[in-house]
A and B are shown apart, each in its own frame.
Chain A
């Protein structure tokens, strides 16, 4: 991608202590580059500092230390109303005393855009979100989804350099949410505006974003494309937060440059890739394997063993049929259960394995990653 649009350099935000409490470090030394035209998602659990980061970019909070640059310009001391960014608030914050049209016009009036041009732009913004017919209504006469779209139109009509969205779909029901996700993505691609999108929904982030920053406790743990984050999570938290993962804890007993041998708590030895060179220093590790990367075979099936294949014995404990795939809980030793997802394809429609059946559990070494605990 091209040039950097928003740059955060060692940004820290500390809220002063309330009575009796310690000061809160909502954002702890974040550095990020967000590129021009990118759909960038900030993903993390509640309280990890997403909103605070966004508010610092918007100018509603000042960093305790560190620097924020937009289009290469330091934002230190620049008030919110002079920044080339606009925000879609989580609860939309449409002005209740104005009509929808007046709401959309507001930002243009503030920028002293010529009256006629402003009207045209406001109208086409409403057309873009497919709501020109409700221009004369008041916000309280709209549904949640409509309000959401108006909030979007109100922000986009200003043609911002960056659009900040703080969980804009949080209040919508699932179906509408899915629709809006696609709509937002399409709109972003057509307009080419940089979107910074905050969410705690990993599926949402993966559907829409070019790149994702996974956050926790005020830190950015990993930044990357969705496939990078899914396939090569930097640590246990990321692997756990993005998608479903089996974690097997054990000890690293041998390793080469790229892979290692881990002795699980039940003495089974398995091979896995090293996620990071540093993991060789720690004895206690976890191996992360995605449920859909594990295969099951009948116990008596003959399998040609290759270097990269892990084969261990297991017993099916539970079977859940969930339409597109079947989920098996397979026990591979004392108290070690693996979740396995098998897709129900044309050739494997029925439930291939029954409860209590003994099976072979297989996975490729490249699909198992050794992480620090």
Chain B
């Protein structure tokens, strides 16, 4: 009887305790998302504001005229994630395998160091590096490696560079956390059973550090696909991404419903990998 009462009270408490979290979710996530969805199916009125009647025009345009932007965004976000993974995993492993613990701490500190400067400022710095008269071009010209300045800025390459640079820590840190917990005796066990370095990595080390890899990929892919500062400052017209499209619709005399429709599409692009990630985590 007493047990039944305490269970009841505990259930009750759990409900009560989850109220702030639920409230938070509703106010800051569900309500705005619903609002965006509703706006996205309304007509563009004067000054770009939404009006009735409901229409699916904006979705048609999103998948029609703007499909190149969509594709480019997905492609760039994918490449960014892939390159971050390719650089980030070895980097995390390298840091982990340093014998000296203070060396490890220092390396991690270096990884986080860029966060101490504003992202916008750092992106402007890339502009100065990559420009026609920028540091890189001037340097190569002075060495005689090139006779004419290269077009580095305002390319897809520049966007990719900027995104990889900006999001690499989001890849390195979760992978490091996984590799940190990884017990290197499993490497010995694998080698004892005849696995060379390649097999040891693919069959033992990677599967056991996969949670970190997945977390890193999600943490890079999601902000990368929605990026607008980097493509704006480094990409010019060639690096125009969804983020820029949305931003331009919401600013000045844009097209609010169109911006909302693009946002909804982007949101679904983000939610797919996110759910895949949560599902994979649920299995563990």
User: Which residues of A pack against B, CB within 8 Å?
Assistant: 58-60, 79-82, 85-87, 89, 91, 93-97, 106-107, 110-111, 154-155, 158
Q: Distance in Å from the Cβ of B209 to the closest Cβ of chain A? A: 10
Does B196 contact A81, Cβ atoms closer than 8 Å?
yes
Name the prevailing secondary structure of the B interface residues.
helix
Question: With a CB–CB cut-off of 8 A, which chain B residues contact A106?
Answer: 190, 193, 195, 203
Question: With a CB–CB cut-off of 8 A, which chain B residues contact A154?
Answer: 193
Question: With a CB–CB cut-off of 8 A, which chain A residues contact B207?
Answer: 97
Question: With a CB–CB cut-off of 8 A, which chain B residues contact A85?
Answer: 192
Question: With a CB–CB cut-off of 8 A, which chain A residues contact B196?
Answer: 79, 81
Does A111 contact B194, Cβ atoms closer than 8 Å?
yes
Does B208 contact A58, Cβ atoms closer than 8 Å?
no
Does A81 contact B194, Cβ atoms closer than 8 Å?
yes
- Interface set, chain B 168-227, CB cutoff 8 A to A: 183, 185-186, 188-196, 199, 203-204, 207-208
Question: With a CB–CB cut-off of 8 A, which chain B residues contact A79?
Answer: 191, 196
Q: Distance in Å from the Cβ of A274 to the closest Cβ of chain B? A: 46
Question: With a CB–CB cut-off of 8 A, which chain B residues contact A96?
Answer: 208
Does A93 contact B186, Cβ atoms closer than 8 Å?
yes
Does A110 contact B188, Cβ atoms closer than 8 Å?
no
- In the complex where A93-B185, A106-B203, A110-B199 touch, is A80 in contact with B192 (Cβ < 8 A)? yes
6 cross-chain pairs, A with B, having the tightest CB-CB distances, nearest first: A107-B193, A110-B194, A93-B189, A80-B191, A81-B191, A87-B192
- In the complex where A95-B186, A95-B189 touch, is A110 in contact with B204 (Cβ < 8 A)? no
Does A60 contact B188, Cβ atoms closer than 8 Å?
yes
- In the complex where A95-B204, A96-B208 touch, is A110 in contact with B189 (Cβ < 8 A)? no
Range for the number of chain B residues in contact with chain A = 10 to 19
Kindly state the separation between the CA atoms of A154 and B186 in the bound complex, as whole angstroms: 14
Closest Cβ neighbor of B200 among chain A residues: A81
Question: With a CB–CB cut-off of 8 A, which chain A residues contact B195?
Answer: 81, 106, 110
Does A86 contact B186, Cβ atoms closer than 8 Å?
no
- In the complex where A106-B203, A110-B199 touch, is A93 in contact with B188 (Cβ < 8 A)? yes
Question: With a CB–CB cut-off of 8 A, which chain B residues contact A107?
Answer: 193-194
Question: With a CB–CB cut-off of 8 A, which chain B residues contact A111?
Answer: 194
Kindly state the separation between the CA atoms of A111 and B183 in the bound complex, as whole angstroms: 24
> 8 additional contacts, CB 8 Å, given A60-B191, A81-B194, A85-B192?
A58-B192, A87-B192, A89-B188, A93-B185, A96-B208, A97-B207, A111-B194, A158-B193
Return the contact of B193 from the options A60, A91, A110 (Cβ within 8 A): A110
Closest Cβ neighbor of B183 among chain A residues: A93
Q: Distance in Å from the Cβ of A114 to the closest Cβ of chain B? A: 15
Kindly state the separation between the CA atoms of A95 and B192 in the bound complex, as whole angstroms: 13
Does A89 contact B190, Cβ atoms closer than 8 Å?
no
Closest Cβ neighbor of A107 among chain B residues: B193
Closest Cβ neighbor of B210 among chain A residues: A97
Kindly state the separation between the CA atoms of A155 and B199 in the bound complex, as whole angstroms: 18
Q: Distance in Å from the Cβ of A105 to the closest Cβ of chain B? A: 10
Kindly state the separation between the CA atoms of A155 and B189 in the bound complex, as whole angstroms: 10
Kindly state the separation between the CA atoms of A107 and B203 in the bound complex, as whole angstroms: 11
Does A97 contact B193, Cβ atoms closer than 8 Å?
no
Kindly state the separation between the CA atoms of A225 and B94 in the bound complex, as whole angstroms: 48
Chain A to chain B contacts (Cβ below 8 Å), 22 pairs: A58-B188, A60-B188, A81-B191, A81-B195, A86-B192, A87-B188, A87-B192, A93-B186, A93-B189, A95-B189, A95-B190, A95-B208, A97-B207, A97-B208, A106-B190, A107-B194, A110-B193, A110-B194, A111-B194, A155-B193, A158-B193, A158-B194
Question: With a CB–CB cut-off of 8 A, which chain B residues contact A59?
Answer: 191
Q: Distance in Å from the Cβ of A272 to the closest Cβ of chain B? A: 48
Q: Distance in Å from the Cβ of B186 to the closest Cβ of chain A? A: 6
Return the contact of A86 from the options B183, B193, B204 (Cβ within 8 A): B193
Closest Cβ neighbor of A154 among chain B residues: B193
Q: Distance in Å from the Cβ of B281 to the closest Cβ of chain A? A: 14
Kindly state the separation between the CA atoms of A76 and B192 in the bound complex, as whole angstroms: 16
Q: Distance in Å from the Cβ of B222 to the closest Cβ of chain A? A: 26
Q: Could you say which of B193, B194, B203, B204 has the most chain A C-beta atoms within 10 Å of its C-beta?
A: B193
Kindly state the separation between the CA atoms of A85 and B188 in the bound complex, as whole angstroms: 13
Q: Distance in Å from the Cβ of B193 to the closest Cβ of chain A? A: 4
Kindly state the separation between the CA atoms of A309 and B148 in the bound complex, as whole angstroms: 107
Question: With a CB–CB cut-off of 8 A, which chain A residues contact B191?
Answer: 59-60, 79-81
Does B199 contact A89, Cβ atoms closer than 8 Å?
no
Question: With a CB–CB cut-off of 8 A, which chain B residues contact A158?
Answer: 193-194
